Amino acid sequence: MDAISYQRAADVDGAISAAQRPGAAFIGGGTNLLDLMKGGIEHPVTLIDITRIEALDRIDTLPDGGLRIGALVRNSDAANHTLVRTRYPLLSQALLAGASPQLRNMATVGGNLMQRTRCAYFYDTAFAQCNKRAPGSGCAAVGGFNRMHAILGASAQCVAVNPSDMSVALAALDATVQVRGPRGARTIAFGAFHRLPGDRPDLDTTLQSGELITSVDLPPPLFSEHAHYLKVRDRASYAFALVSVASALQLDGHRVRTARIALGGVAHRPWRANVAEQHLAGRTLSASTLREAAAAELAQAKPLSGNAFKVGLAQRAIIRSTMLAAGQGNRDGDFA
């Protein structure tokens, strides 16, 4: 068993200072990190406990009318907060679709952003081939069991998917991630926070060494009335998405003024469906229009041997989620 030292940080500056030591890692809820340590995947030398930093456990309204969710806010608290439920129902729905009540009571918003893929080859160290775990070793999933893996944005180096439900909603809502590190504070647009695998699948995010997530900021609410998070999975609870869709709309009658759509379970990061959004903007919302938009988005898909079904599944999920967001999804025929 690895020897680990433990340090509790009293404030953000103290946490960042402690993180400059080689092998240091922040720990909040620990729902993912501890599993990775027990599995022999992560080997931190020092754990920096940030759970007593009071400045990070609040939800506050921003001057522009947006919302700041501290990195230490528990997933369950964020999902059930009055302002999240009423102004950002898409985020509340996505949070409640993730994990189990017990895990949501422990997991933090910042930790959710940092959780790593659930690819079986990544988690099982008996498989030597995993570029995410051991760069340069290969990717066993490419020619192996890849039913749960990526159909968009993958590379020959890695076909793993991001497991977060929360992040799919945040991608659709154009959130930003606030971080602080040894070089000061900076703001990361949500679409630039998680990485596609490219030739460095071991890097999940664009965080720099020693940086700490302090909050997730949401812009002023534009999609309170028309939003829906749809998660398609093998069982009704405690399962990761085969495909998920976060849909948010601004409507003028039946005409789409603005569409925000993001997919989960299909790529190394939450996949913003820009092609589908552009296809819908300014058009009358209908099942046929949605079929065209979904097909255009998935035209770039490159399925693997075991997950070609995800292409059609993702298209149908886009149609269903968006129709439900618009309040028009009461008939099975709407989703054909």
197 belongs to a structural domain = no
196 belongs to a structural domain = no
Spell out a b/e string for 306-324, using b for 16 or more CB atoms within 10 Å of the CB, else e.
Answer: ebeebbebbbbbbbbbbbb
Count the alpha carbons within 13 Å of 47 in the hemisphere toward its beta carbon.
Answer: 16
98 belongs to a structural domain = no
Indicate which CATH number applies to the domain containing 17: 3.30.43.10
pLDDT of residue 335: 41
pLDDT of residue 334: 44
pLDDT tens figures, 214-225: 999 999 999 999
Decide if 88 contacts 220 (C-beta within 8 A): no
212 belongs to a structural domain = no
pLDDT of residue 1: 59
322 belongs to a structural domain = yes
Indicate which CATH number applies to the domain containing 296: 3.30.390.50
Hunting for tokens 């030292």 — which residue is that?
Answer: 5
205 belongs to a structural domain = no
Identify the segments of the chain with pLDDT beneath 50: 331-336
156 belongs to a structural domain = no
Q: How many domains does the chain have?
A: 2
pLDDT of residue 2: 78
324 belongs to a structural domain = yes
pLDDT of residue 331: 43
* SS percent in the chain: helix, strand, coil, step 5: 30, 20, 50
Boundaries of domain holding 255: 227-329
Strands (E) located in 151-285:
176-181, 184-189, 212-218, 227-232, 243-252, 255-264, 271-272
List the one residue out of 237, 225, 91 whose CA is nearest residue 166: 91
pLDDT of residue 219: 98
In this structure, the strands spanning 24-27 and 46-49 are parallel
